[in-house]
Structure 1
């Protein structure tokens, strides 16, 4: 067997194994952890206090925005879903609203919604401005509190904070501090407000936060997620290797 033929076969089997491991780990990496995985003493209702911060201006993508702080805000909770402003299906933030500071919406739960484990029987999803929670029956629905869930429009013009924010995944414990605020996009004269309370639902109930800090306190399924990422890359690289050596390997003789 030639060297190119050997490597062709090696990359072929490496691709098959990598694809199988990547598929299995991808399937399980977003399983919800048990409530015991979390430090429930740190998952209280968000802390909201008075602020003396004055309105300030920021800039993103050459556009000017004015941020008007309403309250200081400190939230620690469990991510259940998110929506990226630059996502493939999200045409609102960038194209229609010219909004380049609301970089991601993050939906979180806390308190009894985590302690009861009810989240494990539910489905969560996010679109351009809403977090959706669905339960399979009335019993699960009765155990879940919409007042211990918030959809957060995260606003920042800081690239380091944005990079941290984009690493958060469902099941992760996150903490951010900043101000509940409204902001005006001067390019189109649009102002987005914020809810001042956790005891509302429906349209207008989302929190808009200009963040000063953002941290992932605890990752969910860190081993499986690292495994999935590693084998995703191995699958891609082994496929490329197989194609390269398939093309350069000498043709097999026909009899």
Structure 2
């Protein structure tokens, strides 16, 4: 009887885990979005000298170009330290801790962001529309892939907590950065929202970062609940006494 109950618990917890993992990255509906996401990014040209900073044993030269202030909905992300990311590793790029792809403005106002799917590569954000109508309605000037730079461990920790579906607000400086650690490396930044393709990403040296509202609730909590249930049922199964037939 106990083994039968444990078997059902294992099956149910596994199904719940798979469902929660699938649903945790579903984007929230427009009714759950803060109206501040309707605003456009704020960008102001600045005159600031380049500065040096050392991260991961590499010294970088950072040249700020514009102050930048963005509020948006995270639709895709890529952590630079993920195991399969060889570009950051080969480039000795420890300053770029995370790439986040966000939407705002018209794409939030008309809800069309829900009709597209998003994915991130090592330096790209890719979109795919479910229909020609959705693609036509999508405002490609109200989406950006942001390379987030920081030399502060506390800020990096906050940034790495970002999940798809989160509503975020960050301030920083659109910047170029480079190093000469064994070879010459340099990466620039977009300074307009109308460009596409290679070089269209915003490279932002982060001054502040805030998660305004987390997405994926309660599915993210259910992931952990399902894991606990699954582990408990497996342990319970193996702790049952072995019965031998006479």
User: TM-score if structure 1 supplies the norm length?
Assistant: 0.88
What per-residue deviation string (whole Å, max 9, x for no partner) do you get for residues 87-117 of structure 1? Answer: 23321101x1111111111000100111111
How far has the Cα of 1:238 moved from its partner?
4.1
Deviates most, 149-158 or 224-233: 224-233
Residue 176 of structure 1 is matched in structure 2 by 170
Shift of 1:51: 2.3
In structure 2, the residue corresponding to 1:16 is in which secondary structure? helix
Aligned to 2:10: 15
Structure-2 change in CA distance of 1:138 and 1:76 (3 Å): same
The Cα shift of 1:135 comes to: 0.8
Aligned residues: 245
The structural deviation recorded for 1:133 is 0.8
Partner of 2:22: 27
Name the counterpart of 1:245: 239
Q: Distance in 1 between matches of 2:132 and 2:9?
A: 48
What do residues 145-200 of structure 1 show as CA deviations (whole Å, max 9, x unaligned)? 11101000011121111111112112211111110001012212101000111121
Matched with 2:158 is: 164
Structure 2 unaligned residues grouped into runs of 5+: none
Provide structure 1 residue ranges, at least 5 long, that are not aligned to the other structure: none
Distance in 1 separating the partners of 2:79 and 2:36: 30
In structure 2, do the counterparts of structure 1 residues 233 and 166 end up closer, same or farther at CA, with 3 Å as the change threshold? farther
Aligned-pair Cα RMSD in Å: 2.0
- Correspondent of 1:59 among 49, 54, 77: 54
Which residue is equivalent to 1:224? 219
User: 1:9 offset after TM fit, Å?
Assistant: 7.2
Conserved 8 A contact 1:48-1:74: yes
In the alignment, does 2:245 pair up with 1:254?
Answer: yes
1:118-129 superposed matches below 5 A = 118-129=112-123
Aligned counterpart in structure 2 of residue 70 of structure 1, from 65, 74, 78: 65
> Which of these residues, 140, 145, 150, is aligned with residue 146 of structure 1?
140
